[in-house]
């Protein structure tokens, strides 16, 4: 190479051509860019966090606000409209937030169950061969998916549940349930003494029913004998009930029917309009997404599976249970998990309808104490824990339905 | 010897046949059909009777301006109309460009024209608004016709045009630099909804593309409800900023919250799109001698973006719905301004009418966009 | 070897500005105790910011007729609104040089802390916790109020005990919740609180019959009752649950701004004590009474110490009126509220408004 072709750096800096080539080689090396990228990202994050922390402490000092979680022990002095555990205003802020947490969990657990059921129904309905049913299901999904959840909540609360008649002349459903503007009253079961034994035995019965169901299913598949799954499962549950009855010689459950008497409704289980509106909005909104997921999952099963199952002479419900659903579940579970997480997070919209969930109570605590940072951390921890729990459980289930490859 | 192939024989289908096959094929299907028919008839009839007789729609008609542009100064409406006109004309051009291989008139176009004429004639708006809508419609149709004539490799220019329109619209609505500035607390109604959603998605794009975002950030943001992140942005963001930046406008804080939220989801989507690119592309690029940054810029990003556009559109639709949460923080976008309209003394208690109206508006946007994106996807994949 | 040294160089290059920045922030804050007269602390300077902006940013409610209400045309009116207008008149000689921001009860404090508004004039109760731990500085009380309860006339409730087992609607973020809980605990009455994040939702639920009572400041009840469908079907109970001195507020740590606004408000009260109003101020401007002359700025330079022009009170009175005029314009006999002055009269007439001397 002639000297007038050397790069200009050779004349300005004491870097030889050898170093220049080394640099070029470095810049073309994938690993360099990966490491450099990660290092730069890490540095940026560190700088950002340091700057933010500096600003935060400076601003807090200017405003004269201290950081610390001691305010949780201070008396709350505000009342909460709906609590499951006993609470009164002389309890601490920490206990108030705990009450809110239980309210949230109530809504989330019930919402998950109902949303799954509704989602399954409408998802399978979308694949029905009945044209009317299929179109109705599609309309349901398209309508409720494309309207914001907050709007649906407002609609349910202000336009539906608050417009129910007053408690003096309620709407009666089958004479057992009452719909009023003060709440919805259901018949409920009350447990008296001896219920503990019944519940334990019932739990044992249900667990063994599930185990028996799966055993008979395996027998059906492996040995081709009649499974009689339902008989085994039912038998287990009935057996548990019989043992409980023999041990305690009584039925420790009493039906508590709501009675409408002269402007009051006594007894039964009362669900407040706030709870009902929140539940209705969440369930219907999430179920429209779950319906889509279920439909996509069932459609993902190759058509050949259906035809092969039919060629083998299986009845439609057996096809669903033994061939289609296990394969569909593999596709359904991951997006279903994210919808469950969405439901748990969307329950924070309870503040819009006045239902005291954990976000609402934490927000009230912030208003009374002015502690933005600590309250924010509490809210974050609560929701992160809930999300992690749901993800963990669903991931375990997911792993059990995935194909076991070598 | 050639054998002519003919279509398989199909049984003659008459309407009665169709009904029997689709609605009454088995006994439980028949019961289902009857039950559904009963429910539909009862539901529709009571709904229609409510709409026509019991419901009082004056609240919607009297407040149309508030719903759409909120408290924007009346004399500056031409700026909003101009912004809308720019968007729709560019959309017309793009649409014409995409469907240039299809026939000129289709069912959707005729349907759209019909809806437009109905809107111009029937809506209870003032004359100047009707004229503006007419003008914008004409310009869009002209744009559509022009778009069909564009040469095929003009897409980068169209993207640049969209960027320019976005900036010009921000200038038109916000003011400054020659136009009277309109303070952000006056932006409200559907205008604010669209503005925050578009700014949110546009600003979260660079964040989502930069893969340097740690798993920690994404997981934390995805574990929090959006209302918590907006609370963080409204209440705590000022505490994290240096004093000269502290007077951050409320709308900006809301957009910051939305960006923080959607950037995490967008990062996940884009990561998925990146994983979908075949390895052969990387190897071919390296064989050609491209350095890694150039590979990302020229080969990876264009393909990844094309793969994730459906996800991004879905994200935008979700963001549009999530802007309704801003009403809980005092911002008067569509949901917020409807709550304050419902507090007007002469229209107390008209919840169902107002919520149905804005529900319809949201539904039109979201369903329209998802249908359009599916349509676009089909067109882009075929062409 | 080459890679590692490059990396180290990069780290060093980036870390230096970081260290420099943190030094900058660590040096700026001044300890809380030192208040230098006339000097604005690093976080303050609202007076200068407002002056350079040429407009005052005022946080109000916007949904409370009589105190701060914005009608469909976008016009603001009310007692709190007029106080802001008076401050703007004192600063800029223009009562319309104000930008109003509607704030709900939850976000009002953070808006003030963040500097989004210069003054919070939003019927906020002055309490120790808000003054100290929330980081606000309260100005003179503009309305002495108490918490009340509104029920339906048909319910026949006479006092708080009649609310046993009933549902009561309240707005979150206010002292209302705690006051109500305290009083009911003292009386041993069980009730169901229904708390919403938005005042409109509170009254909507009350109208629909979800709750049998609504509780907030008495002035708020009087004001919102006029917006109900049948105002005369609702009565406000005589019981007062608490003291609610409503005062505007500014941010902590800005004494110059605080002094300026405080003395403007005191100027309104002092003017009413001396009998000066917007109609006769021109005559009073020619008065020889040294008290009047000092107040109106014809003599002395009291305004300078506060960072305002000497005739700042005169400007406010001329453009907006004294406290009495502001009160009667918004809540007086000519309005639908017709609230008697009561505690809100000047001290000479038996009320609680008392301005320190302008000397």
Query: What CATH code is carried by the domain that includes residue A350?
Result: 1.10.3720.10
The position carrying tokens 């994938």 is A30
pLDDT at C65: 83
Residue B96 and residue B147 share a domain: yes
Distance from CA of A282 to the nearest CA of B (A): 14
Which of A150, A353, A395 is the best mutation test for B, with the most CBs of B within 10 A?
Answer: A150
Instruction: Let me know if residue A56 belongs to a domain.
Output: yes
Residue B156 and residue B190 share a domain: no
| Chain B residue whose CA is closest to C75 | B71
- Please determine, for residue C2, whether its predicted confidence score (pLDDT) is greater than 60: no
CB contact under 8 A, B185 and C229: no
Counted domains in chain B: 2
Instruction: Let me know if residue A124 belongs to a domain.
Output: yes
A51 touches chain C (CB under 8 A): yes
Which residues span the domain enclosing A136? Answer: 93-187+257-401
Per residue in B242-251, pLDDT (tens digit) is 766 666 778 8
Which among A56, A145, A147 has the least Cβ separation from residue B359? A147
The position carrying tokens 């990561």 is B271
What whole-number distance in Å separates Cα of residue A379 and Cα of residue A97? 10
pLDDT at A353: 92
Counted domains in chain A: 2
Q: In this complex, which chains have at least 3 CB pairs below 8 Å with chain A?
A: B, C
Residue A314 and residue A178 share a domain: yes
pLDDT at B275: 76
Instruction: Let me know if residue B288 belongs to a domain.
Output: yes
Q: How confident is the model at residue B210 (pLDDT cuts 50, 70, 90)?
A: low
Instruction: Let me know if residue A230 belongs to a domain.
Output: no
pLDDT at A176: 78
**Segments in B24-154 forming alpha helices (H):** 27-49, 58-62, 64-69, 77-98, 107-122, 127-148
Residue B247 and residue B340 share a domain: yes
Across the range B9-13, mean pLDDT stands at 74
Residue A359 and residue A281 share a domain: yes
Residue B104 and residue B231 share a domain: no
Across the range B340-365, mean pLDDT stands at 86
Q: How confident is the model at residue C342 (pLDDT cuts 50, 70, 90)?
A: confident
The token duo for B76 is 């500056």
Per residue in A228-271, pLDDT (tens digit) is 788 888 999 899 888 888 887 777 777 888 887 777 778 788 89
Residue B221 and residue B156 share a domain: no
- Pairs of residues, one from chain B and one from chain C, whose beta carbons lie less than 8 Å apart: 62
Per residue in C274-328, pLDDT (tens digit) is 999 999 998 988 888 889 988 888 888 888 888 888 889 999 999 999 999 999 9
- Taking alpha carbons only, the member of A353, A284, A352 closest to residue A141 is A284
Cβ contacts of C242 within 8 Å, gap of 6 or more: C146, C147, C175, C179, C183
| Chain C residue whose CA is closest to A80 | C193
Alpha carbons within 13 angstroms on the beta-carbon side of residue A91 total 15
What whole-number distance in Å separates Cα of residue C310 and Cα of residue C298? 8
The ipTM assigned to this model is 0.85
- Please determine, for residue C43, whether its predicted confidence score (pLDDT) is greater than 50: no
Q: How confident is the model at residue C261 (pLDDT cuts 50, 70, 90)?
A: very high
Give the other-Cβ count within 10 Å of A293's Cβ.
20
Determine what percent of chain C is predicted with pLDDT higher than 90.
Answer: 33
The position carrying tokens 């105002």 is C231
Measured between beta carbons, the chain B residues lying within 8 angstroms of A40 are: 212
CB contact under 8 A, C25 and A356: no
User: Would you give the end-to-end CA distance of chain A in angstroms?
Assistant: 57
A367 touches chain C (CB under 8 A): yes
Torsion of CA B235, B241, B243, B248, to 10 degrees: -60
Among B133, B148, B179, which residue terminates a domain? B179
pLDDT at C34: 36
Instruction: Let me know if residue B208 belongs to a domain.
Output: yes
- Please determine, for residue C17, whether its predicted confidence score (pLDDT) is greater than 60: no
Measured between beta carbons, the chain A residues lying within 8 angstroms of C173 are: 364, 367
pLDDT at A12: 59
Q: How confident is the model at residue C12 (pLDDT cuts 50, 70, 90)?
A: very low
Which of C106, C120, C193 is the best mutation test for A, with the most CBs of A within 10 A?
Answer: C193
For residue B246, the domain's CATH number is 1.10.3720.10
- Which of A98-112, B312-326, B350-364, C69-83 shows the lowest per-residue confidence on average (mean pLDDT)? C69-83
Distance from CA of A162 to the nearest CA of C (A): 6
Residue A357 and residue A268 share a domain: yes
The overall average pLDDT reported for chain B is 83
pLDDT at C258: 93
- Please determine, for residue B216, whether its predicted confidence score (pLDDT) is greater than 60: yes
Residue B215 and residue B145 share a domain: no
Instruction: Let me know if residue A164 belongs to a domain.
Output: yes
Q: CB of C236 within 8 A of CB of C158?
A: no
Which of A368, A369, A374 is the best mutation test for C, with the most CBs of C within 10 A?
Answer: A368
Instruction: Let me know if residue A194 belongs to a domain.
Output: no
Cβ contacts of A161 within 8 Å, gap of 6 or more: A181, A273, A276, A277, A280
Which of C74, C98, C116 is the best mutation test for B, with the most CBs of B within 10 A?
Answer: C116
Residue A101 and residue A59 share a domain: no
Measured between beta carbons, the chain C residues lying within 8 angstroms of A81 are: 167, 192-195
pLDDT at A14: 59
- Which of A316-330, B112-126, C338-352 shows the lowest per-residue confidence on average (mean pLDDT)? B112-126
Instruction: Let me know if residue B376 belongs to a domain.
Output: no
Residue C41 — φ and ψ, nearest 5°? Answer: -65, 165
- Taking alpha carbons only, the member of B102, B252, B82 closest to residue B173 is B82
pLDDT at A339: 93
Look at C28 and B106; give whichever has higher pLDDT. B106
- Which of A40-54, B312-326, C150-164, C175-189 shows the lowest per-residue confidence on average (mean pLDDT)? A40-54
pLDDT under 50: residue ranges of chain A? 1-2
Instruction: Let me know if residue A216 belongs to a domain.
Output: no
Cβ contacts of C213 within 8 Å, gap of 6 or more: C149, C150, C151, C157, C163, C166, C167, C168, C169, C206
pLDDT at A356: 93
| Chain B residue whose CA is closest to C203 | B343
Q: Considering the entire predicted model, what is its pTM?
A: 0.82
pLDDT at A38: 73
pLDDT at B367: 92
* Chain C residues 290-309 with a CB less than 8 Å from chain B: none
Residue B189 and residue B170 share a domain: no
CB contact under 8 A, C173 and A43: no
Instruction: Let me know if residue A69 belongs to a domain.
Output: no
Residue B195 and residue B125 share a domain: no
Residue A263 and residue A164 share a domain: yes
Across the range B333-360, mean pLDDT stands at 85
Residue A104 and residue A59 share a domain: no
Which residues span the domain enclosing B134? Answer: 77-179
């Amino acid at each position: 190479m002639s000297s007038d072709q050397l790069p200009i750096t050779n004349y300005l800096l004491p870097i030889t051509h050898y170093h220049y080539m080394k640099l070029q080689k470095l810049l073309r090396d994938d690993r360099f860019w990966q490491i450099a990228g990660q290092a730069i990202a890490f540095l940026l994050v560190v700088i950002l966090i340091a700057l933010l922390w500096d600003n935060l402490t400076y601003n807090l000092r200017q405003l004269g606000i201290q950081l610390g979680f001691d305010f949780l022990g201070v008396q709350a002095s505000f009342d909460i409209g709906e609590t499951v555990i006993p609470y009164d205003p002389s309890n601490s802020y920490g206990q108030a937030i705990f009450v809110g947490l239980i309210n949230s969990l109530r809504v989330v657990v019930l919402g998950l169950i109902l949303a799954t059921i509704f989602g399954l129904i409408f998802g399978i309905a979308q694949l029905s061969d009945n044209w009317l049913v299929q179109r109705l299901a599609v309309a349901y999904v398209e309508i409720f998916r494309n309207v914001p959840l907050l709007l649906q909540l407002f609609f349910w609360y202000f336009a539906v549940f608050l417009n129910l008649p007053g408690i003096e002349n309620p709407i009666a459903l089958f004479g057992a349930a009452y719909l009023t503007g003060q709440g919805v009253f259901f018949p409920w079961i009350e447990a008296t003494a001896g219920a503990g034994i019944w519940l334990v035995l019932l739990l044992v019965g249900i667990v063994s029913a599930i185990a028996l169901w799966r055993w008979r299913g395996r027998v059906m598949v492996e040995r081709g004998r009649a499974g009689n799954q339902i008989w085994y499962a039912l038998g287990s549950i009935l057996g548990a009930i019989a043992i409980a009855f023999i041990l305690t010689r009584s039925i420790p459950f009493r039906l508590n029917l709501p009675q409408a008497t002269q402007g009051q409704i006594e007894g039964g289980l009362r669900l407040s309009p706030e709870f009902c509106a929140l539940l209705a909005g969440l369930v219907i909104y999430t179920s429209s997404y779950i319906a889509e997921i279920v439909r996509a999952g069932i459609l993902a099963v190759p058509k050949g599976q259906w035809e092969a199952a039919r060629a083998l002479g299986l009845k439609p419900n057996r096809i669903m249970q033994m061939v289609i659903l296990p394969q569909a579940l593999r596709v359904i579970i991951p997006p279903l998990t994210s919808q469950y997480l969405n439901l748990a997070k969307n329950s924070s919209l309870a503040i819009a309808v006045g239902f005291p969930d954990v976000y609402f109570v934490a927000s009230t605590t912030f208003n009374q104490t002015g502690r933005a940072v600590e309250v924010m951390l509490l809210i974050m921890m609560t929701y992160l824990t809930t999300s992690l729990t749901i993800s963990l459980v669903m991931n375990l289930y997911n792993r059990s339905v995935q194909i076991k490859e070598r | 010897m050639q054998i002519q192939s003919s279509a398989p024989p199909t049984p003659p289908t008459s309407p009665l046949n169709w009904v029997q096959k689709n609605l009454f094929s088995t006994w439980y299907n028949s019961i289902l059909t009857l039950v559904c028919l009963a429910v539909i008839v009862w539901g529709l009839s009571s709904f229609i009777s409510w709409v026509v007789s019991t419901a009082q729609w004056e609240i919607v008609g009297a407040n149309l301006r508030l719903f759409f542009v909120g408290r924007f100064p009346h004399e500056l409406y031409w700026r909003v109309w101009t912004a809308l006109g720019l968007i729709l004309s560019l959309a017309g051009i793009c649409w014409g460009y995409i469907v240039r291989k299809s026939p000129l008139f289709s069912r959707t176009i005729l349907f759209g024209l019909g809806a437009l004429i109905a809107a111009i004639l029937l809506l209870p708006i003032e004359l100047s608004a009707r004229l503006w809508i007419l003008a914008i419609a004409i310009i869009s149709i002209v744009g559509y016709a022009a778009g069909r004539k564009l040469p095929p490799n003009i897409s980068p220019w169209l993207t640049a045009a969209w960027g320019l329109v976005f900036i010009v619209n921000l200038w038109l609505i916000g003011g400054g630099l020659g136009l009277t500035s309109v303070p952000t607390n006056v932006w409200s109604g559907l205008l604010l909804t669209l503005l925050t959603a578009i700014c949110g998605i546009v600003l979260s794009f660079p964040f989502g593309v930069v893969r340097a975002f740690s798993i920690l950030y994404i997981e934390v943001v995805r574990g929090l409800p959006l209302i918590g992140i907006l609370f963080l942005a409204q209440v705590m963001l000022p505490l994290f900023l240096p004093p000269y930046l502290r007077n951050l406008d409320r709308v900006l804080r809301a957009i910051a919250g939305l960006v923080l939220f959607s950037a995490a989801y967008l990062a996940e989507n884009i990561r998925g799109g990146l994983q979908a690119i075949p390895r052969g592309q990387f190897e071919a690029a390296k064989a050609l001698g491209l350095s890694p940054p150039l590979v990302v810029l020229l080969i990876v990003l264009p393909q990844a973006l094309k793969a994730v556009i459906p996800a991004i559109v879905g994200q935008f639709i979700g963001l549009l719905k999530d802007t309704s949460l801003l009403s809980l923080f005092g911002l008067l976008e569509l949901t917020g301004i409807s709550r304050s309209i419902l507090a007007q003394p002469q229209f107390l208690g008209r919840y169902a009418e107002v919520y149905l109206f804005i529900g319809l508006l949201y539904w039109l946007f979201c369903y329209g966009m998802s249908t359009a994106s599916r349509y676009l996807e089909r067109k882009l994949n075929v062409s | 070897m080459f890679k590692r040294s490059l990396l180290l160089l990069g780290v060093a290059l980036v870390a230096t500005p970081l260290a420099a920045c943190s030094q900058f922030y660590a040096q700026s804050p001044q300890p809380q105790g030192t208040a230098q007269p006339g000097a604005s602390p690093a976080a303050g300077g609202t007076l200068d910011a407002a002056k350079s902006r040429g407009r005052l940013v005022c946080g109000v409610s916007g949904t409370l007729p009589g105190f701060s209400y914005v009608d469909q045309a976008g016009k603001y009116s009310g007692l709190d609104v007029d106080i802001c207008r008076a401050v703007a008149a004192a600063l800029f000689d223009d009562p319309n040089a104000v930008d109003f921001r509607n704030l709900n009860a939850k976000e009002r404090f953070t808006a003030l802390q963040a500097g989004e508004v210069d003054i919070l004039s939003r019927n906020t109760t002055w309490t120790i916790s808000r003054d100290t731990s929330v980081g606000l500085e309260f100005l003179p009380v503009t309305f002495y109020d108490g918490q009340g309860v509104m029920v339906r006339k048909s319910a026949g409730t006479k006092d708080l005990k009649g609310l046993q087992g009933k549902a009561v609607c309240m707005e979150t973020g206010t002292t209302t919740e705690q006051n109500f809980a305290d009083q009911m605990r003292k009386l041993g009455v069980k009730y169901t609180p229904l708390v919403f994040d938005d005042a409109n939702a509170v009254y909507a639920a009350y109208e629909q019959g979800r709750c049998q009572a609504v509780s907030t400041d008495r002035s708020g009840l009087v004001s919102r009752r006029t917006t109900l469908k049948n105002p005369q079907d609702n009565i406000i109970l005589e019981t007062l649950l608490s003291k609610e001195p409503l005062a505007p507020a500014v941010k902590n740590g800005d004494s110059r701004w605080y002094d300026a606004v405080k003395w403007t408000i005191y100027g309104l009260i002092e003017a009413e004590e001396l009998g000066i109003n917007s109609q006769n101020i021109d005559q009073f401007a020619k008065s020889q009474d040294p008290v009047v002359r000092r107040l109106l700025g014809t003599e002395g330079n009291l305004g300078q110490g506060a960072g305002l022009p000497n005739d700042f009170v005169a400007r406010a009175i001329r453009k907006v009126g004294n406290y009495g005029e502001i009160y009667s314009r918004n809540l007086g006999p000519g309005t639908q509220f017709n609230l008697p002055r009561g505690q809100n009269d000047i001290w000479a007439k038996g009320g609680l408004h008392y301005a320190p001397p302008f000397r």
